[in-house]
Every structure is written in structure tokens, then in C-alpha cells.
Amino acid sequence: MADRQITQQTIFSLLAKLDDPDADLRYMSLNDLYGILTNPNSSFLSHDRGTSTKLAEGLLKALDDQHGDVQNQALKCLGPLAVRLPFESLTPLLEQLANLTASQTIDTSIPNTALRVIVDTLPHPQTGQPASQNATAAYSAVSKVLVPRLTGPTPSASGRRDSIVKGMMEKDPSKGFSSDAIDVLIKVVTCFGPLLQESELVALQASVMAIIQNDTAGTVVTKRALTAISALVLHFSDSQLNGFVSDLSATLSSSKISMVQRRHLIAAIGVIARTAPAKFGPHLDTLAPFIFSAVGEDDISKGN
């Protein structure tokens, strides 16, 4: 108990120094907090909502620091904090970070990076093993907060009628699509793909394909979206994969799609075939004619 009280007092003392005008002192305070968070003596935080909440608030504030070194050290602290947080504190932390990704006044790459750091650090299912209780709890928080924010607009926490928060994958009128948001989606799928419900996979697929099929999406964003769809396909059920291939075929058969859209869809077929050959291979007979047609080799089979 004495050790716990000493650790609590040290944490509060270090948090108070995050308001110091000296950037070096703020950095060193975060460095000391990192040492505490990675020490077994801080395990009590998972049962101490008050202290863990103050820690989360302090780190969120430090993410908006004007000094990059301080920001980076705050990001470094978020990973070990996330695995110390009780579930009821993890959810609001994810919500606050997700809300910051829609800010028009800060560098939104910072909260997006923070989300990736947290998701990557949280307990997640291991291949070939049943999901642990901790992994299931972590998925519940990600499912409640991040998946809805990635897949579409959500009601604002303010509770005001008709108040909507835009989805992280939506196109911003001034900034365009966010490659950082796509990277968050990729991290969610990579870490929690086996636990994602089919309805979540369908919604994530729709958000990614909306970018791939958008003529105005830049090269960097499109490449990240292609990586995202190849990661998603690994977790599709047979019925979902069949539906996905049918949608691809219908779109590629249309005379209304642009050359850019056709090129992006063919690129999607290529990356998926490389990433998930066993799952996607049986569908190549359906999709190959569209590829041959696009490269002017409609009759390639006749030459053999």
C-alpha cells in the first residue's frame, strides 16, 4: 500500500510539471512517467480509475504541446498507459482521440498516430488460439468507438439534436481523404481482424472501397486503401467474399466507370490476389477477363 501511495504521489507531481513553461522539464516529466508506466509497480492503475483518468488527461494535453519532442514522448506513454487502463477509462480515451482527428486546428496526424499506438499495444487475439478475456475486452472498446468512427458519421457526444461527427474515412472538403485514418483502420484489422463481426467487416469494406473508387483520391491515399482492402479480405467469410467479387464484377462490367476507377479496381484485384491467394484464387476466373480486357488482351487464351 505504501508503494502504491508513493507511486500515486509521484505521478501527480509529474503531471503538474506538464504545465511548466520549460519544454525540457515537460519532456523529462513524461520520460519519468513512461518509466513508471512500464514498471510493475503501476499495475494498480487498472483498478484506480481516478489516477488513470488524470494520467490520460495529462497525456492528451501533452499531445497538443508545441514542442515535437514533448509530443513524441506523450505518444510513447500512451501504449503502456492503455494496457493499464480499466475498460471504463479506455473507451473515453479512444473517443477523445477519435474526436481530435476531426479537428481543424491541430495536426490530426498526432491523434491518428496515438490511436495506432494504443491499438497496437492492447491485448489482441493470437493466431490459432482462442481470444483471451483481455483481448476480448480490448476488442469491445475498439468495436464500440473506433469501428463506428471509421465507417461513417456518428451522433455527437454533445447530445444536441442532429449533431453529427464526421467519419474518419470521409473526405474532408479542405484536406481530402486521410491516409492517417486508413492506417488506423489497417491497424484495427491487423490486430483485431479475427474478432470483427461480419457487419463490421462489411462497413469497413464499404468505407475503403469508396476511396478506391473515388477519382479524386490521391496516389498515397489510394495505395493505403489498397493495403487496407487486402487486409480486410483475409477475414471475409465465404459469403462476404462472394458478394465482394460480385460487386467488383458488376462495377467493372459497367460502361459508366471512369478509367481511373477501373485502374484502381484492377489494382485492388492484384493486391488481394497476392495477399490472400488461397481465398481469392477460386474467383480469378471470374475477374481475369476484366484484367485482360483492360490491357488489351481479350483473346490471350486463344493464343495458347
Neighbours of 230 (CB within 10 A): 21
Residue 16 lies in a domain: yes
In the chain, how many domains are there? 1
* 35: in domain: yes
Predicted TM-score (pTM) of the model is 0.89
Give the pLDDT of residue 88: 83
Q: What is the pLDDT of residue 302?
A: 45
- 62 vs 41, residue with greater confidence: 62
More confident residue, 154 or 49: 49
Which residues, 6+ apart, have CB-to-CB distance to 225 below 8 Å?
182, 208, 211, 212, 217
Give the domain CATH number at 40. Answer: 1.25.10.10
Bridge partners of 176, per DSSP, are 172
* Mean model confidence pLDDT for the chain: 89
Query: Could you give phi then psi for residue 172, rounded to 5 degrees?
Result: -85, 135
Residue 33 counted as domain residue = yes
Q: Is the pLDDT of residue 113 over 60?
A: yes
- Is 10 part of a structural domain of the chain? yes
Establish if 57 belongs to a structural domain: yes
In whole angstroms, give the CA distance from residue 269 to residue 258.
17
Residue matched to cell numbers 488506423: 184
Chain-centroid distance of CA 192 in Å reads 10
Quick check: is 230 in a domain? no
Q: Is 281 a member of any domain?
A: no
* Model confidence at 16: pLDDT above 70: yes
Quick one: what percent of the chain has pLDDT higher than 70? Answer: 92
pLDDT digits (tens, 9 = 90+) for 171-227: 988 889 999 999 999 999 999 999 999 999 999 999 999 999 999 999 999 999 999
- Mean pLDDT calculated for residue range 162-176: 81
CB atoms < 10 A from the CB of 145, how many? 22
Whether 45 has a pLDDT exceeding 70, the answer reads yes
- What pLDDT is stored for residue 157 in this prediction? 57
Give the model's confidence band at 255: pLDDT under 50 very low, under 70 low, under 90 confident, else very high: confident
Is residue 191 in some structural domain?
no
Q: State the angle between helix axes of 133-151 and 87-100 in degrees (0 to 180), rounded to the nearest 10.
A: 20
- Cα separations (Å) of 102 from 47, 163, 268? 31, 14, 28
Predicted local distance difference test score (pLDDT) of residue 175: 87
Domain range enclosing 22: 1-85
pLDDT band at 304 (very low <50, low <70, confident <90, very high): very low
